[in-house]
Amino acid sequence: MHMRRWAGSWWTIKISGAAAAAAKRRDWNTFGQYLRNQRPPVGLPQCNYSHVLDFLRYLDQFGKTKVHVQGCVFFGQPEPAGPCSCPLRQAWGSLDALIGRLRAAYEENGGAAETNPFANGAIRVYLREVRESQAKARGIPYKKKKKKKKRKASDHDQGTMMPSNSSFQSSGI
């Protein structure tokens, strides 16, 4: 079951468990095929974060998201007025979701969490750079959401605070 709903400025897609499992399996098989097509072929035990980065860059050729380059007249404009020759790339959100699925699939297929190439810090850095560059190209600066600080419960919140006004303290009645 695919459901699309608007959530703020992003579309979110709710996918059933079976569809999510199928997507994870499809992505895992695609990555495995990519490794087998390398010259020389790369076995999963030899796979590291650099193979994952190469895979993400390889996928860019199949992207559908226009990413304006620095010299383009539409660079930094959220709604460009016309066509341009800037490249199509994979959207950051798609790459982020893909890495999440592959990270889980790696461990489900016998890989150890400690050696998971999809969990490597270099992958997080790459995804952050893609996110920031795509946001800049669209003229929509990405702002990291700050975590709300937990408010310390004060005496007032607990209902134990006494009014400090002297007229309440001694009414004389």
For residue 50, being part of any structural domain is answered with: yes
Burial class (CB in 10 A: 0-12, 13-18, 19+), 31: buried
Q: Residue 3: beta bridge partners?
A: 14
CATH code where residue 129 lies: 1.10.150
Per the structure, the count of domains in the chain is: 1
Token digits of residue 74: 């539409």
What is the per-residue pLDDT across 44-83, written as a single tens digit (0 to 9) for each?
A: 899 999 999 999 999 999 999 888 888 888 888 888 788 8
What is the per-residue pLDDT across 122-157, written as a single tens digit (0 to 9) for each?
A: 999 999 999 998 988 887 765 666 666 666 555 455
What is the value of pTM for the model shown?
0.70
Q: Answer yes or no: are the C-beta atoms of 76 and 48 closer than 8 Å.
A: no
**pLDDT computed for residue 19 by the predictor:** 86
CA 135/CA 154 separation, integer angstroms: 41
For residue 158, being part of any structural domain is answered with: no
CA 152/CA 135 separation, integer angstroms: 36
For residue 5, being part of any structural domain is answered with: no
Domain residue limits at 34 = 17-144
